Amino acid sequence: MGTSHEDKGDMISSSTDILNLVDGFIDQISKIRTILKGVSISALILAPLAIALSVFLLTHSSFFTILEDEDEFGLVLIILLGSVIAISSVWIVVGFRQYRMISTWNKRYSKYLANKEEIHRNIASDFGFTENSED
């Protein structure tokens, strides 16, 4: 019947391992969010510039001259500029949604860190640990 004490120890050890794994995963996600925020901001800056350049080229007076003189090249150019406008429009929407999602996640992550720190302080005070021996 001594195995029940060992089973409890194994269960506590497994729980601690899982919590450490989750904490490590959350920390990695936190580091990746900075990169994702940069990508979303670049999408919000570069996509409108690509759309503006494409619209400028499409509305420029020389563009119609190219269309008349170069049939095949003009068609390809129209398709490419249309594609740039369509893809850039999608990037604007995705960038905005990603930025909002990351901002929401940042708030939840900050709350998680504050709760985690409070739990560490409560455990330390309940068991008489010093603050230096937490991690």
Mean pLDDT of the chain: 80
The answer to whether the pTM exceeds 0.75 is: no
Would you say 54 and 84 are in contact if contact means Cβ atoms under 8 Å apart?
Answer: yes
Q: Which of 24, 36, 53 has the alpha carbon at shortest distance from 100?
A: 36
Q: How confident is the model at residue 116 (pLDDT cuts 50, 70, 90)?
A: confident
Is residue 78 within 8 Å of 130, Cβ to Cβ? no
d(CA 107, CA 115): 12
Domain boundaries, the chain: 29-133
Average pLDDT over residues 89-116: 85
What is the amino acid identity at position 18? I
Residue whose C-alpha is closest to residue 109's, from 31, 55, 5, 36:
31
CA–CA separation, 109 and 45 (whole Å): 26
Structure tokens at 8: 């409890």
What pLDDT digit, counting tens, does each position of 33-64 carry? 888 888 888 888 999 999 999 999 888 888 88
Instruction: Give 108: exposed, middle or buried? Use CB within 10 Å, 0-12, 13-18, 19+.
Output: exposed
